[in-house]
Chains A and B, each alone.
Chain A
Amino acid sequence: RKEVEQDPGPFNVPEGATVAFNCTYSNSASQSFFWYRQDCRKEPKLLMSVYSSGNEDGRFTAQLNRASQYISLLIRDSKLSDSATYLCVVNLHNDYKLSFGAGTTVTVRA
């Protein structure tokens, strides 16, 4: 089992649609979770941290399900500019090392 696993997609959605996807992680004791966005051939950029109670940032909502060991990202009212690869990032062992999923590709079409 991979330590951080994501559905690679691609998720092809029309503008205005809602898209959601999950990421599972292997260590139930993990405490820190993040979603990063990576555009083609560019560096990852922090989208949002994921808090235990779930959190929202504009059109983006992140949730944590500790019992099932996954985090999720939901994008509402998709924009063309949301097209990117979304990386699930977990601090698996609560040290300073980040573990990355391979990414979920989202393509928003006009």
Chain B
Amino acid sequence: GAVVSQHPSRVICKSGTSVKIECRSLDFQATTMFWYRQFPKQSLMLMATSNEGSKATYEQGVEKDKFLINHASLTLSTLTVTSAHPEDSSFYICSASPSGGTASTDTQYFGPGTRLTVL
């Protein structure tokens, strides 16, 4: 099956610092990747759609200058949380699909997630 990896799995940082999270598709190419955030006991919320070679598409209410997304290759997307604050502490998960991810029937495969704690 399709494998998506994320790094790091866990990060603890001080308020005001920036944190970069990597999402890689290991055995397929992904022109589109998705970034989600999940707070405790809540559902996954789509933050943005990462497009290879072009700008990311952000969901309403997600600050694009705070959550920088770069999708420089067909197997790697990065999410940088800039000037992180305690309220940014969350579980960040990426997903991708071997079949592109832009059709309604595409199966999404999720990375193992990155747990961010901002002190």
A interface list, Cβ under 8 A from B: 4, 8, 31-32, 34, 41-46, 49, 87, 91, 94-98, 100-103
Contacts and interface: CB of A to CB of B under 8 A. Distances in A.
Contact of A96 (B44, B45, B49, B115): B49
Contacts, number: 52
Contacts of A100: 43-45
A69 to B, nearest CB: 17
Nearest to B6: A43
B44 to A, nearest CB: 4
B43 A102 contact: yes
Chain A contact residues, majority secondary structure: loop
A97 B46 contact: yes
A102 B42 contact: yes
A19 to B, nearest CB: 20
B54 interface: no
B66 to A, nearest CB: 21
A98 B43 contact: no
Interface in B81-102: 91, 93, 101-102
16 contacts: A31-B104, A32-B105, A41-B91, A41-B113, A42-B112, A42-B113, A43-B93, A44-B44, A44-B110, A95-B104, A96-B49, A96-B101, A97-B46, A101-B43, A102-B42, A103-B43
Interface in B33-50: 34, 41-46, 49
Nearest to B101: A96
A95 B43 CA distance: 19
Contacts of B45: 100
Choose among A31, A41, A49, A98 the residue with the greatest number of B CB atoms under 10 Å from its CB: A98
What 5 A-B pairs are tightest by C-beta distance, nearest first?
Answer: A43-B110, A100-B43, A96-B102, A102-B43, A100-B44
Interface string B29-70: 000101000000111111001000000000000000000000
Name, among B43, B101, B103, B111, the residue most crowded by chain A CB atoms within 10 Å (CB to CB). Answer: B43
